Structure 1
């Protein structure tokens, strides 16, 4: 039997370590791809499946899938939940009942492409919410970044008519409000005690949020449109509940544990990339000139926001 030399041994050991190093990147990509697919598929079926019906059954499936993982952490933190019940109710309303339902409503009368591009403003929207709710002062650099990205957002929600024939699309405004709701959730969730974060708050918000959606879903079924029982409705409910909720969350949180929140957060910018590709392949959507110009302004704003300050440059090792 041929013995492995020192160099061959080292090479054999390096291979698995490289795979382990790339695993969190792969997990973050899977999560963002699942979330982009959620938006595209919701647009694909929105002619036959009502938004609140999809929202309710998505989270109902997610509640079943997540139960084995969240039950014990939820039970352990029950006394802590009672102390922070008001905040948890607000988080369930924003993160589960509000955000996804608003996105599904917006998709009824706008392009999937518009919604996924507007998603890329999330980091800057969080800065804005921190300023409005918590009084966190924004730097001149952050203010400039928000202003530049706002031009890109306006180009998209006005369909390029920023100067002439100025009119704002209602569905695009709903999509933008949904992102504001999500940003508010992201800011407020940081106010939870550490013991409630992670699996406990996921479980509580999913179950409470699903209960909040239920009466609205019933009203939609009675007065507007009933959720059909069909292959499409079952398939989309399973996809959004299992992949866009359960698996995506598991992958994202595993990536955060390995890479940290800041580094993993950068992968959120893949949602528009995957979303545009899926929209072109599955929906036949095409990007107009104003999309490209709007993306340029949004990306430029994000780039400026992430530029290291002079103080950071001076303190960084050379």
Structure 2
């Protein structure tokens, strides 16, 4: 029984670190540019991962070479585009909104699985998706979804939606492109490709450099959000399975909101609470029925 509880600690720790990253990302706005922090984040991560990845790179070079193209695409989506868009969004929206929107990732991944791989899902799955979207609309409009018709989507929220779509596509392709390489090697390859791609906007945009005011933010992003959280998440999936691990991911908007209130002084209004409940409930409903063959009965 104790072993089961300890196994749950892995995905819980990952979600706590990702929730904290929403706060850190918001805190980065104004102290370091989006392209700059994204570049340093993945360059540092690649450097830290290299000693652990070097042996598999040598002994499994054949597998590495066959998967280089796929890892490059994954690095572009999950390590370059996703965080860079998050950093851009942070200048225009709150950490609470970022956490809530990011929690739509499983719903987006289901839609991509249907579009790209012709998977079919029941009406209940799409009902859950609609509930989640309604919940996001309530949160980002402060409890008045009708504002979307009058004012449109906040630029920061729109950018965060694009970031989440990139990560959903990344997650979908990761499942499709599984390989026999150690997870640390895959992470290194993606980090290396991301830092190479991000070196271009890094060189072309104004830079402030790593200094006393942003070094903690950069290190959190590079070490805890980029290395520790993914490895903890994968360890949790191995121990408790993807379905149970997904239940912990659904707590991300709550974690992000609590951290945003504690560390950034953001406010959660009563009007936003039904939206958070709808987001979490809708995602859980969709995930539960997506795991069942079409036409099966609920247990």
- On whether the aligned pair clears a TM of 0.5, the verdict is yes
Give the deviation of 1:189 after TM superposition. Answer: 1.4
The answer for the alignment partner of 1:57 in structure 2 is 40
Map Cα deviations across residues 39-97 of structure 1 (whole Å, 9 max, x no partner).
Answer: 20221231121111111111122112222222222333332333343322211100111
Correspondence 1:167 to 2:152: yes
The answer for the alignment partner of 2:136 in structure 1 is 153
The answer for the alignment partner of 1:187 in structure 2 is 172
* Residue among 275, 293, 296 paired with 1:294: 275
Q: CA RMSD in A?
A: 2.1
Give the deviation of 1:122 after TM superposition. Answer: 1.4
The answer for the alignment partner of 2:203 in structure 1 is 218
Taking a change above 3 Å as real, the CA distance of residues 74 and 266 of structure 1, as seen in their structure-2 partners, is: farther
* Residue among 261, 265, 286 paired with 1:305: 286
Q: What is the CA–CA distance in structure 2 between the aligned matches of 1:158 and 1:273, rounded to whole Å? A: 17
Map Cα deviations across residues 193-243 of structure 1 (whole Å, 9 max, x no partner).
Answer: 43146233212111111111111111122xxxx133321321111122111
Moved more, 55-64 or 290-299: 290-299
Correspondence 1:268 to 2:253: no
Give the deviation of 1:293 after TM superposition. Answer: 2.9
* Residue among 11, 19, 24 paired with 1:41: 24
Give the deviation of 1:106 after TM superposition. Answer: 0.4
* Residue among 192, 215, 233 paired with 1:252: 233
Give the deviation of 1:160 after TM superposition. Answer: 4.2
Taking a change above 3 Å as real, the CA distance of residues 93 and 238 of structure 1, as seen in their structure-2 partners, is: same
Taking a change above 3 Å as real, the CA distance of residues 23 and 63 of structure 1, as seen in their structure-2 partners, is: same
The answer for the alignment partner of 1:233 in structure 2 is 214
Question: What's the secondary structure of 2:120's corresponding residue?
Answer: coil
Give the deviation of 1:142 after TM superposition. Answer: 1.0
* Contact 2:139/2:272 (<8 A) preserved: yes
How many pairs are equivalent? Answer: 293
Q: What is the CA–CA distance in structure 1 between the aligned matches of 2:97 and 2:200, rounded to whole Å? A: 29
Q: Deviating runs (4+, > 6 A) in structure 1?
A: none
Map Cα deviations across residues 172-200 of structure 1 (whole Å, 9 max, x no partner).
Answer: 01101111100100111122243146233
The answer for the alignment partner of 1:23 in structure 2 is 6
* Contact 2:124/2:285 (<8 A) preserved: yes
Q: What is the CA–CA distance in structure 2 between the aligned matches of 1:138 and 1:151, rounded to whole Å? A: 20
Taking a change above 3 Å as real, the CA distance of residues 276 and 198 of structure 1, as seen in their structure-2 partners, is: same
Correspondence 1:285 to 2:266: yes
Taking a change above 3 Å as real, the CA distance of residues 121 and 232 of structure 1, as seen in their structure-2 partners, is: same
Question: What's the secondary structure of 1:244's corresponding residue?
Answer: helix
Moved more, 99-108 or 289-298: 289-298
Q: What is the CA–CA distance in structure 2 between the aligned matches of 1:76 and 1:273, rounded to whole Å? A: 43
* Residue among 159, 183, 205 paired with 1:198: 183
* Contact 2:46/2:192 (<8 A) preserved: yes
- Per the normalisation by structure 2, the TM-score is 0.90
Gaps of 5+ in 2: none
The answer for the alignment partner of 1:119 in structure 2 is 102
* Contact 2:101/2:136 (<8 A) preserved: yes
Q: What is the CA–CA distance in structure 2 between the aligned matches of 1:197 and 1:161, rounded to whole Å? A: 47
Give the deviation of 1:158 after TM superposition. Answer: 4.3
- Per the normalisation by structure 1, the TM-score is 0.85
The answer for the alignment partner of 2:114 in structure 1 is 131
Greater gyration radius: 1
Q: What is the CA–CA distance in structure 2 between the aligned matches of 1:287 and 1:141, rounded to whole Å? A: 30
